[in-house]
Amino acid sequence: MSKIRVAVLAALTLAPAAASAQVLQERNISLAVAQELAQATVEACAAKNFNVAATVVDRAGIVRAVLRADRAGPHTVEASRAKAYTAASARNNTSAIMDNAEKNPAARHLAAIEGFLLLGGGVPVKAGDEVIGAVGVGGAPGGHLDEECASAGIAKVQAKLK
């Protein structure tokens, strides 16, 4: 009987330590910064006469903000969301993911993951080295141009990402 008590006491003593080891602290993009980033991204493309949609997602790929410029096509909203989700999930620019998929036969299957879009225009948003979200752009005449606008938007809010 005493062996059982010792085992129970040991288990109860270790339970709080095990429970606290389960708690994660992660940074995430705020709504205010997400809205500002979406606006800055759409404006960066508008300065080049591109009518785009910009979607900002949090670190888990959940939408925080979406803006669609006047005259941007209806498809641009979903394209920007999928690019942002892909960049947040893979923690990499979608253009780099696309390039890797073209060169690596095993990586080609990434396109089969539901919600992934392997086109340029999705860029992770980082606070230091930690990915806290992503921005995706759809509607410029090329993924590389979508990516330029996304990077310009991030540059505008960079000071708020520390």
CB atoms within 10 A of CB 155: 11
pLDDT of residue 77: 98
Q: Which helix (H) or strand (E) holds 66?
A: strand 63-68
The residue written with tokens 């980082």 in the block is 126
Alpha carbon 13 to its chain centroid, in Å, reads 40
In this prediction, residues 6-21 reach a mean pLDDT of 57
pTM, 2 dp = 0.86
pLDDT digits (tens, 9 = 90+) for 53-82: 999 999 999 999 999 999 999 999 999 999
**Using CA atoms, how far apart are residues 135 and 124, in angstroms rounded to an integer?**
6
**Using CA atoms, how far apart are residues 78 and 97, in angstroms rounded to an integer?**
19
The residue written with tokens 């921005």 in the block is 135
Class of domain 26-161: alpha beta
Residues 6+ apart with CB under 8 A from 53: 42, 66, 67, 68, 69, 72, 76, 77, 79, 80, 137, 138, 139
Instruction: Parse the chain into domains and list their residue ranges.
Output: 26-161
Q: Is 115 left (phi over 0), alpha (psi -120 to 50) or beta?
A: left
Q: Is the pLDDT of residue 153 over 90?
A: yes
Q: What is the β-pairing status of strands 130-138 and 122-127?
A: antiparallel
**Using CA atoms, how far apart are residues 153 and 36, in angstroms rounded to an integer?**
9
**Using CA atoms, how far apart are residues 59 and 62, in angstroms rounded to an integer?**
7
pLDDT digits (tens, 9 = 90+) for 97-149: 999 999 998 888 998 999 999 999 999 999 999 999 999 999 999 999 999 99
